[in-house]
Amino acid sequence: MSGIGRHLLSIEDLDRAGIERILDRAESFAEVSGREIKKVPALRGRTVVNLFYEASTRTSSSFELAAKRLSADVVSVRSIGSSVEKGESLKDTVQTLSAYDPAAIVIRSPHVGAAALVAGWTAASVINAGDGKHEHPTQALLDVFTLRRRLGSLEGASIWIVGDVLHSRVARSNILALRRMGARVTVCGPPTLLPREIEALGCEAKPSLEGLSQADVVYVLRMQQERMREAFVPSLREYVQRYQITSTHLDARQLLMHPGPVNRGVELSADAIDSPRALISDQVKAGVAVRMAVLYELLVGSPVLEAVA
């Protein structure tokens, strides 16, 4: 048993063997995505529902394409232009969509715990594509996939996660996944934006960039502009001064990551984004292969790799 259940709601659903099985499968799908005919028949005639209650380009199009490259029929429901506007509850919407007997429901919601609720209302496999500030497990998996490709192993690697850790589902899922893979994680940002219980997750917390040179990987979070208004940060100018990562922070050995979309000139300087140390486009590229792997592992499971090709 390698730790992959029916749903992917949280990285906590996966043990290290489960993560590694998904990453291995993703390697085979990355190879498929490099072919001219980027398609396998694995999910032919099965239905994948994408249910997005928040604006999204990269995550929604990445899941949509992953499902299509597995030959599934995809139905996308967005809060805009749907009955969700009529005040239909999430439960009713999920029960409606479940009546189509989908193989999987991919759900993004602004509410913590939404994906777990959905899993209680449907016989489909549920994949959490982001639930409020809680988790975004496929983002963490694609980040770990990207790093494993570069570093071979994450065992003992030092990863600094910089920025608004408090409100970041990406940070939370990454901390869990990186720890599972044996990495050492340091979180860094204004104390108002670091959760109090962060050290319980096995991280070190730092209030400044001092010591960043020891990191193997600098993972920069998106700064939500609204945090300024909410007074978590004194001013944008001060934030940029104290926490913006520029290419002068990085030596030739360090890798730079960001979940996108980047606020150019806020959390990252333009020269850092465009530096050869930046893995940002590798991360996006990994998204389709990793999501194909997650869909495959949840819905098809154990058959040997040859069956995919």
| Interface residues toward a copy of itself, by CB under 8 A | 33-39, 44-47, 49, 52, 55-58, 60-62, 64-65, 68-69, 73, 75, 77-89, 92-93, 95-101, 260-264, 281, 284-285, 287-288
Q: Which is nearer to a copy of itself, 209 or 279 (CB)?
A: 279
Nearer to a copy of itself, 215 or 299 (CB): 299
Are 108 and 52 in contact by the 8 Å Cβ rule? The answer is: yes
- Report the residue number, 218 or 279, with the smaller CB distance to a copy of itself: 279
166-181 burial code (b ≥16 CB/10 A, e <16): bbbbbbbbbbbbbbbb
Go through the chain and tell me how many residues it has: 309
Q: Measured between alpha carbons, how far is 140 from 4 in angstroms, rounded to an integer?
A: 16
Report residue 145 as tokens.
Answer: 């996939």
- Rounded Cα distance between 4 and 146, Å, is 20
Q: H helices then E strands: how many in the chain?
A: 10, 9
Q: How far is the CB of 233 from a copy of itself (least distance, A)?
A: 18
Minimum separation from the CB atom of position 146 to a copy of itself (A): 11
- What is the nearest approach in angstroms of a copy of itself to the Cβ of residue 260? 6
Residue 133 or 179: which CB sits closer to a copy of itself? 133
Residue 145 or 186 having the CB closest to a copy of itself: 145
Best CA proximity match to 215, nearest among 184, 182, 173: 184
- Of 10 and 125, nearer to a copy of itself (C-beta) is 125
What distances in angstroms separate CA 215 from CA 109, 200, 211, 222, 279, one per listed residue? Answer: 33, 21, 8, 19, 15
* Distance of closest approach, residue 184 Cβ to a copy of itself, in angstroms: 28
265: alpha, beta or left? (left if phi > 0; alpha if psi -120 to 50): left
Give the shortest CB-266-to-a copy of itself separation in angstroms.
11
